[in-house]
Chain A
Amino acid sequence: MRFEATLSDVRGKVLIAMAEDLGMSRSQLLDEALALWLEVIEGRRRGARVVVVDPTGDQPDRELVTPSMAHLDWWRHRTDRAWTPEQLRRMAEVLERPGEPAEALRRLMAGEDVEGPEELEAQGIGG
C-alpha cells in the first residue's frame, strides 16, 4: 500500500537522517514508528502511560504525553450526556457564528469588577 503524507521540512530532514543512520528505508522506519505509535494509542485507551526511564537512574522518570494522548484521556473520562436535537442545533449555531466575547467576560478575565454572583453564591452557581 502506498501512502502519502505532508511533513514539515524539519521533520522530513530528521526522518531521512534517521533512516540513513539506522540503515533502514524510509518505509521501514515509518512502518516501525507507526507500529509503536499504534501500541501507544491502544495502551493509552486502557489508561497505560508512556514513561522514559533514565538508564543511570540519576534522572527522574519522564512521562511522554502528546496532544492526541491527552485527548484520549479526556475522552476516556468524559461525562455522558443526553443531547436533544434542538440543543445540538443551537450549539452548532454558536460554533458557526460565535460572535465576540461579552463585555462582562472581558472584565471577569481581566480581573476587573463584574456585577458579582454573591446572591448566587448562596445557592451554588450552576450546581
Chain B
Amino acid sequence: MSQDDGFCTDLMRGDDAQTGFTCGVRALDDYFARHAWPNMTRGLGRTWVYRGDVEAGDPPILAFYTLSMAAADTPELRAHLGGRLPRYPVPVALLGRLGVHVQGRGRGTGLKVIRDAFRRIHAAAAQVGCAGVLVDAKDAGAAAWYGRLGFVDLGSADWPRPMFLPQSHLAALPGA
C-alpha cells in the first residue's frame, strides 16, 4: 500500500473488476473489467487501484493504473551509447493504462495517481534497475502534458506515441 496525505493505492483484487468502473473511455473500462485481473494473475503487469469512499458516495474504484516492464533492445542502444550498457536489454517501466472514474474528475485524482505511479517506479528501480518510464501518449493533448513533465517524444508518426522519462529525473527529486 502506498500512502501520501491520505491518498493510497493498493493492488487490484479479483472482485474489483465487477465494480462498474467507468472513466468514459470504453477501451479503458473494458480493459479494467475484463483484462486487468487476468493479466495480474498471469504476471503480465500490476494494476493499482485508488479506492473511493463508498459511504460518502464515491464509486468503489476512483482510478487505476497499470505498471509493467518493457525492455529496450540493447544492441541497438549500445551502438548509440558506445558499449556503456549491459549485455541484456535495458529495462524500462511501462505506465500502460491510467483511468479516472467520471466521479473522480476535478479533484486532482489524475495527478495523485501519476505521482503514486512514479513513486512506485522509483522504488522498484532502486531494487532491480530501471532506465526510465515509458508512456504511450494517446493524442496531442496527452503528449503535451507528458512533455511538460519532461517526457521526451521518442519519435513516431502515429498515435499512441511513445514518450520516455529518464529514471535520473525521478531519482533527483526528494518526493520520489
Residues of chain A from 29 to 79 with CB closer than 8 A to chain B in the complex: 47, 67, 70-71, 73-79
Is the C-beta of B94 less than 8 angstroms from some C-beta in chain A? yes
**With known contacts A90-B155, A102-B148, A110-B175, A78–B70 Cβ distance under 8 A:** yes
* Shortest distance between the CB of A86 and any CB in chain B (Å): 5
How many residues on A have C-beta within 8 angstroms of the other chain's C-beta atoms? 54
What are the residues of chain B within 8 A of A105 when measuring CB–CB?
Answer: 149-150, 165, 169-170, 173
A-B pairs under 8 A by CB, number: 203
Chain B: which residue is nearest A97 at the CB level? Answer: B166
- List residues of chain A with CB under 8 Å of any chain B CB: 47, 67, 70-71, 73-81, 83-96, 98-102, 104-106, 108-111, 113-127
**With known contacts A74-B69, A77-B43, A88–B77 Cβ distance under 8 A:** yes
Is the C-beta of B137 less than 8 angstroms from some C-beta in chain A? yes
- CA A100 to CA B172, docked complex, whole Å: 8
9 more contacts with CB within 8 A, not counting A102-B148, A106-B173, A127-B98, are A78-B68, A91-B131, A95-B77, A95-B166, A98-B166, A110-B175, A111-B175, A113-B108, A116-B111
**With known contacts A77-B45, A86-B155, A111–B170 Cβ distance under 8 A:** no
Residues of chain B from 90 to 126 with CB closer than 8 A to chain A in the complex: 91, 94-100, 102, 104-106, 108-111, 114-115, 118-119, 124
* Shortest distance between the CB of B50 and any CB in chain A (Å): 12
Chain B: which residue is nearest A68 at the CB level? Answer: B128
Q: Are A109 and B170 in contact, CB atoms less than 8 angstroms apart?
A: yes
